[in-house]
Structure 1
Amino acid sequence: MYHPSISFKKKKKKRKLQILSLIAPPPDQHPGVVDQAQCKYGRVYVYDDLPPIFNKKLLENCIIDSRKSQCEALSDGGFGPEATTALAGIVPPELARAWYRTHMFASELIFHNRILNYKCRTMEPESAKAFYIPFYAGLAASNILFSGYTAKERDAPFYTFLEWIKNQHYWKRSNGSDHFLAVGRTSWDLKRVRDDQAWGTSFLLMPLMRKMFSFTIERSLGDPMEVTVPYPTGFHPRTVTEIKQWQEFVRGRKRTNLFTFVGGKRGYIKNDFRALLLDHCYNESDSCKAIDFAKTACLDSSSAVLEIFLSSDFCLQPRGDSHTRRSTFDCMQAAFGGRTGNLKDAFDIAVEEMLRRIVSNKPSLKGPSS
């Protein structure tokens, strides 16, 4: 149904917008000896003796959102399947190889694989300033979020984890204040306040967790124990050259649509704004294109999404299931060029911020500046 208060007009003039790209390639080898100046806040020790039930067994279950088994989505260290074939004719071959069908909840796997090669990782726990625990809390939660489990059942895997970690030597030394996790879901999924709530676990609110830091998607405002990271996209370049080539490709791309909206209607929500946007895009098809996830499976449409974003000047991004949407970050990859030069790795920035908070022991309410 057409709504007279919203209209889409033809574009008149293209405008260039530059942003600083913070993407950088992961190293290909185990970290060697680095200058101490490169490890300003000290070194990180990775728990490599974690019982398999806290990570490896969760991967074997292949459950990332509990709707169906998705082993492919958890493959290749969290990157997922390569998208090279699907992007043929959309993206140049030399750039398509940097794209994968990465799941929106795969960041804890990606983080784990990246930190194993982190330049300031140490194999000697006595020399560490911080301790990373590769517990896949997001995957553990995914097994129980969508079904009719009791609050006790939803919390059980996390009590099991805390029972193990609290007996570890380096945890007991600091009561966990120099330990941290990377969680692949929003903090709201792991901060159930009341037991009568039908959704979520209370993991991040459990007493033993209140001294430990965590990376989360969309941290709770005012919680100094969380550091925000964005949803992962499917773009995983291995070299700075690939980053610059992608920026040049995006800047030179011919845009044929003014607006694009990618999403699905929420019939159970009164006056659903997503439905409104979809209807308007269909009614203004000369200037707005849409992908309706009620007709096209969200998890299987990464190439179609990238193609439509690359052909549009603007992406319409209403609030999703949480405050932001994975689509927001996909759009940013397709819409913006970046400045070239010496690009500092976003992964390094995030870990340095975590180390800074741990070392200072005075958590800031602000995340790393962009």
Structure 2
Amino acid sequence: MDNNNNSIEDQPAGKKKPTTVLLIPCLLITTSMLLLYLSQKKIILISSTTTTISDSDHSRLRYDPCVGRYIYIHNLPSRFNKDILQDCESISRPKDKTSMCRYIENSGFGPQMGDGDSTDSKYSRSWYATNQFMLEVIFHEKMKTYECLTSNSSLASAIYVPYYAGLDLRRYMQWSCNVSERDAAGKEMFKWLKKQPQWKGLSGKNHFLVTGRISKDFRRYSEDNSSWGTNLMLLPESQNLSFLTIERSPKRQNEFAIPYPTYFHPNSVVEIRQWQDKMKLTNRTVLFSFAGAQRPSKNYKGLVRTQVIEQCNSSSK
């Protein structure tokens, strides 16, 4: 766990790396969900021993706040994460108004919004122009500072696989790319994982992977080059993994839904409460909001987003 524990960018001298308290409860909830799932599948094994344990060891285990929460991070080859970011222009699409390279700044939060030091600025220093597809980077960077991270995989209750599957897919979203190109990295990643001792014990059943795209993008059933996405989640090895993904499939028990990242990345509980208080005092006459664009489709009239957009456009407010 050496190379992947380095920051994705060199931080300028005196510039504090951004943190967020919102991801801390998210990580705790995620860990609890994973442990519950693994225990239901009888993956967590409790063994007995006749070895005498000293009183000091008993005390250490009893009061260790990380017991049951330890997480180990696989040190994947850089081609599965860091190299993707270094070649950031490859994950920018021709129609993107802004290069994806900008969104890699600040550990995946993206460029800071406004002048956080100005008293008249409407943005605090915790607001960033965060790209919706940067969750894999944000999660990975946060996990590097997780309080119960361990370099001893035998202590880990869960093992994190930091493969940027969603960003990797963006490199091959042109229709000119065939399915073999799109699927190659996922297959290579599993080939590497299966050689690791951490995988061999439970065949990956205590492993989890975070994707910054919807589950459907990784479930391509056809081998037709015109079909969308990759087959990552359909590979035999994927059936043992737990996936933290946007818009999980309701038919899959090993998928857990997590939200897209927002622009607000507060540094303290106080800042969260200040924002909540501000919202409570705001005079909001419309208690509904929708963020999304029209989707080109032959049956676009039947799409929920189409109906929402039409109703919003026809509203007098």
Q: Specify if TM > 0.5.
A: yes
Partner residue in 1 for 2:84: 58
Partner residue in 1 for 2:167: 139
Is the Cα–Cα contact under 8 Å of residues 25 and 237 in structure 1 kept in the other structure?
Answer: no
Partner of residue 81 from structure 1, selected from 79, 86, 111 = 111
Gap change, CA 1:277 and 1:42, over 3 Å in 2: closer
Pair 1:72 & 2:102 matched: yes
Partner residue in 1 for 2:215: 187
Figure out how many residues of one structure are paired with residues of the other and give that number: 257
Q: Using structure 2 for the length normalisation, give the TM-score.
A: 0.71
Aligned-pair CA distance for 1:40:
5.0
Deviation per CA, 1:211-241: give whole Å up to 9, x if none: 1112111111121111111111111111100
Aligned-pair CA distance for 1:283:
4.2
Higher share in strand? 1
Partner of residue 24 from structure 1, selected from 22, 25, 28 = 22
Pair 1:210 & 2:208 matched: no
The amino acid across from 1:114 in the alignment is: K
Is the Cα–Cα contact under 8 Å of residues 211 and 243 in structure 2 kept in the other structure?
Answer: yes
Higher share in helix? 2
Is the Cα–Cα contact under 8 Å of residues 44 and 128 in structure 1 kept in the other structure?
Answer: yes
> How much identity, in percent, do the aligned residues show?
35
Partner of residue 127 from structure 2, selected from 99, 103, 115 = 99
* Higher RCO (Cα < 8 Å, 6 or more apart): 1
Gap change, CA 1:40 and 1:269, over 3 Å in 2: farther
User: Distance in 2 between the 1:106 and 1:263 partners?
Assistant: 17
User: Distance in 2 between the 1:228 and 1:90 partners?
Assistant: 38
Mean CA deviation greater in 205-214 or 139-148: 139-148
Is the Cα–Cα contact under 8 Å of residues 25 and 240 in structure 1 kept in the other structure?
Answer: no
Partner residue in 2 for 1:41: 68
- The answer for unaligned runs of 5 or more in structure 1 is 1-21, 28-32, 288-370
User: Distance in 2 between the 1:25 and 1:268 partners?
Assistant: 36
Q: Using structure 1 for the length normalisation, give the TM-score.
A: 0.62
User: Distance in 2 between the 1:257 and 1:88 partners?
Assistant: 30
- The answer for unaligned runs of 5 or more in structure 2 is 1-19, 26-59
Is the Cα–Cα contact under 8 Å of residues 61 and 67 in structure 2 kept in the other structure?
Answer: no
Give 1:1-370 correspondences, 5 Å limit.
24=22, 36=63, 38-39=65-66, 41-47=68-74, 49-62=75-88, 63-64=90-91, 66-67=93-94, 68=96, 69-85=99-115, 92-93=122-123, 96-196=124-224, 198-255=227-284, 261-270=290-299, 271=301, 274=305, 277-285=308-316, 287=317
Gap change, CA 1:173 and 1:273, over 3 Å in 2: closer
Is the Cα–Cα contact under 8 Å of residues 160 and 209 in structure 2 kept in the other structure?
Answer: yes
